[in-house]
Each structure stands twice: as C-alpha cells, then as structure tokens.
Amino acid sequence: YTDATNNPCFYNMDSTPICVMIPWDRNPKALAKWAEGRRSFPWIHAIMTQLTLDGRIDHLARHAVACFLTRGHLRITWKEGLKVFEELLLDADWRV
C-alpha cells in the first residue's frame, strides 16, 4: 500500500523498476465470464455474483477472485480486474 500510494508510476509496469514484467493473456471472453460470474468454478461464481448484487465482498473473497484472474487460472492482467472492481465495489481502492 505504501509503495502504491507514494510511487506515482506504481500501476505502470513499464516505468516501475520494482515490478516484474509478466506475459499476460488477452482473453476478453474469459474476462467477461469472470466479471459476470459465469465461470465453472462455484466459489468464484458465488463471489462475483455477490459482488454484482451487493457491491461488496469479504477481503478473502476479493483475494480469491483476484488470484483466480491473475495467477491462479486465467493469467489476465490485474488492470482488467481493477476496472471491474472499480465499477462494482462500493469501497474500491486500487492501492489495496
């Protein structure tokens, strides 16, 4: 959180030496399924459905769906997940 708050380029991997370049997948269909809770993983589906309906999810649920998106299964950049979280989360904060 401290790095993200105090480093104006933290979100931009190209200009931040502390970030490792990751070869992300670009898969709009998989991203849409994740965001809409239409994955064949009941736990992820339930969390994304709750997020869509309520605008809030538990911190462990946030971690679960973020990991599923980025390094757990889909390998899609966190920036795409950020867009979904900013749209749906009532308390969205990109630094967290």
34 part of a folded domain: yes
Length of the chain: 96
10 part of a folded domain: no
User: What's the domain range around 89?
Assistant: 28-96
81 part of a folded domain: yes
Q: pLDDT grade, residue 14 (50/70/90)?
A: low
60 part of a folded domain: yes
Q: Which two tokens stand for residue 95?
A: 């630094």
Instruction: Consult the annotation and say whether 92 binds a ligand.
Output: yes
Cα–Cα distance, 52 to 33 (Å, whole number): 13
Instruction: Consult the annotation and say whether 25 binds a ligand.
Output: no
Cα–Cα distance, 21 to 65 (Å, whole number): 21
At residue 31, the pLDDT reads: 94
CATH number for the domain including 50?
Answer: 1.10.579.10
Cα–Cα distance, 37 to 68 (Å, whole number): 12
73 part of a folded domain: yes
Top mean pLDDT of 13-17, 21-25, 38-42, 81-85 is at 81-85
Instruction: Consult the annotation and say whether 66 binds a ligand.
Output: no
At residue 44, the pLDDT reads: 93
Burial class of residue 48 (count of CB atoms within 10 Å of its CB; 0-12, 13-18, 19+): buried
Please state the domain count of the chain. Answer: 1
Q: Which two tokens stand for residue 3?
A: 């790095």
Cα–Cα distance, 56 to 53 (Å, whole number): 8
Mean pLDDT computed over every residue of the chain: 85
Instruction: Kindly report, residue by residue over 47-77, the tens digit of the pLDDT.
Output: 999 999 999 999 999 999 999 999 988 999 9
This prediction's pTM: 0.76
